[in-house]
Amino acid sequence: MEPMPIMIVAPKIRGFICTTAHPDGCARHVAEQIAVVQKRGPIAHGPRKVLVIGASTGYGLASRIAAAFGSGAATIGVFFERPGEPGRTATAGWYNTAAFEREAAAAGLYARSFNGDAFSDALKAEVIAAIKADLGQVDCIIYSLASPRRTHPRTGEVCKSVLKPIGETYTNKNLNTGTGVVNEVSIEPAEGDDVAQTVAVMGGEDWEMWIDALQAAGALAPGVQTVAYSYIGPSLTWPIYKNGTIGKAKEDVERAQRALDTRLAPLGGKAWVSVNKALVTQASSAIPVVPLYISLLYKTMKAQGTHEDCIEQMDRLFRDRLASGKPQPDEAGRIRLDDWEMAPAVQEPVARNWQAVTTENLAELGDFEGYQASFLRLFGFGLAGVDYAAETDPEVPIPSIRAAASGG
Ligand code: NAI
């Protein structure tokens, strides 16, 4: 039997991913993020022509929205998503981008998107050709990829990123985000070339390759700024994050930042690492231990009125740090959007609750409900004003990709 062209879309959760996404729900999610930025008013002296690498979900999508709807920027977005087909939904990032482009067009903003492997030379060349043809140059490049693997463009080697401690087994509390059970998890340490592989995927080399290719093509505007995202977090997560395989990759991102800073200096340009807050995204839900920490963190920050989601973080990045001329770098030269997360008034209760939390008191000490709601929202579920009982068409075009396909 032919699959139905339209369908009722419900969440299908498999471990820490949801294999369906709701087109109208994702569109609502994008609209809500746009509204957050617009409510704060225009961003003075913000970027005008922005390339976002990893632009379809999480921090990259929020960056694109803040640049476009806060700063009035033309945006080019790069991502790796799957379109819908009869009987099968697209990935959330596809629907997010379709909605973003519709909203951008309605606001008179240039937006063009590229779906493919950002690690490849071919996609870099295609994107740079589009920048040259349409915008001439870019004045801001956001690097927000999170990927489990990378095919190296020079060697062809397929590298895999792993989330492991280094040196010894790490045992700590963990939350089963499907059931709400708080148990313990033990993660075996990295072995073989796990560290080198993780650095190859999530380290700074590909960021450098993008900036070098843009610079060689003359596609960087004077005074260009580029930002890559990192995370540090509290000591309870250090064995799996900061001191683990992913932390080594983030150290390499900082190495790349210093190298890029030197190379951009003749243009009056600047490379930044921005340390962002721990938030529910597709990437963070895959990290052991972190979802329990996020549940406790959300509870405390919501109670204190300092909770932010990706869009509030990225609005603050552009508005208060990059455009204001007051980036407030730390001793290592990093922008710290994790300042509110790391405040002692937040970390002290979170650390106490970490010791005390069990399956039974999770609802009281943590915000598991908020965690689950945020997770579902990533895939367009649980948004106000969406009729989830209605049949919907899973095939939604991304205007600039459709135009490119029919034009070529
Ligand atoms: P995400 O999973 O929501 O977004 C990843 C993006 O990368 C998506 O747009 C995806 O399409 C794109 N992508 C993945 N592989 C690709 C490929 N081969 N080619 C082109 N695009 C590809 O992840 P999230 O959480 O927004 O992470 C972005 C960055 O922010 C990462 O560097 C992460 O370490 C960092 N970060 C995340 C935090 C969190 O709590 N989620 C906290 C602080 C930093």
DSSP string, 309-339: -HHHHHHHIIIIIISSS-----TTS-EETTT
**327-374 pLDDT per residue, tens:** 999 999 999 999 999 999 999 999 999 999 999 999 999 999 999 999
The H or E element spanning position 53 is strand 49-53
Q: Is 336 exposed, middle or buried (0-12, 13-18, 19+ CB in 10 A)?
A: buried
DSSP string, 97-129: HHHHHHHHHHTT--EEEEES-TTSHHHHHHHHH
User: Using an 8 Å Cβ cutoff, are 203 and 213 in contact?
Assistant: no
Whether 3 shows a pLDDT value over 80: the answer reads no
Averaged pLDDT of the chain: 96
- Going from the Cα of 356 to the center of ligand 1, the distance in angstroms, rounded, reads 31
Q: What is the pLDDT of residue 238?
A: 97
Domain coordinates of the chain in residue numbers? Answer: 13-166+194-289+306-339+386-402
CA quadruple 331, 233, 196, 128: dihedral sign = negative
Residue among 236, 220, 344 nearest 289 (CA): 236
Whether 228 shows a pLDDT value over 90: the answer reads yes
> pTM score, two decimals?
0.97
Q: What is the largest CA-CA distance in the chain?
A: 63
User: What is the pLDDT confidence band of residue 5, given thresholds at 50, 70 and 90?
Assistant: confident
Ligand 1 pocket residue status of 75, Cβ below 6 Å = no
Ligand 1 pocket residue status of 279, Cβ below 6 Å = yes
Q: Is 342 exposed, middle or buried (0-12, 13-18, 19+ CB in 10 A)?
A: middle
**54-87 pLDDT per residue, tens:** 999 999 999 999 999 999 999 999 999 999 999 9
Which phi and psi angles does 333 have, rounded to 5°? 80, 15
For residue 194, give both structure tokens. 């796990």
Bridge-based pairing state of the strands 13-14 and 17-18: antiparallel
Catalytic residue among 229, 231, 241, 371: 241
For residue 57, give both structure tokens. 């979900």
316: left (phi over 0), alpha (psi -120 to 50) or beta: alpha
231 included as an active-site residue = no
- Going from the Cα of 142 to the center of ligand 1, the distance in angstroms, rounded, reads 11
**144-162 pLDDT per residue, tens:** 999 999 999 999 999 999 9
Q: What is the second-level CATH architecture of the domain 13-166+194-289+306-339+386-402?
A: 3-Layer(aba) Sandwich (3.40)
Q: Which amino acid is at 39?
A: K
**182-201 pLDDT per residue, tens:** 999 999 999 999 999 999 99
Ligand 1 pocket residue status of 52, Cβ below 6 Å = no
Ligand 1 pocket residue status of 79, Cβ below 6 Å = yes
- Going from the Cα of 286 to the center of ligand 1, the distance in angstroms, rounded, reads 12
Ligand 1 pocket residue status of 273, Cβ below 6 Å = no
Residue of 82, 145, 280, 379 to test ligand 1 pocket, by largest number of atoms within 8 Å of CB: 145
CA-proximal residue: ligand 1, atom 12 (nearest)? 54
CA-proximal residue: ligand 1, atom 24 (nearest)? 58
In which residue are the tokens 């087994």 written?
169
Ligand 1 pocket residue status of 16, Cβ below 6 Å = no
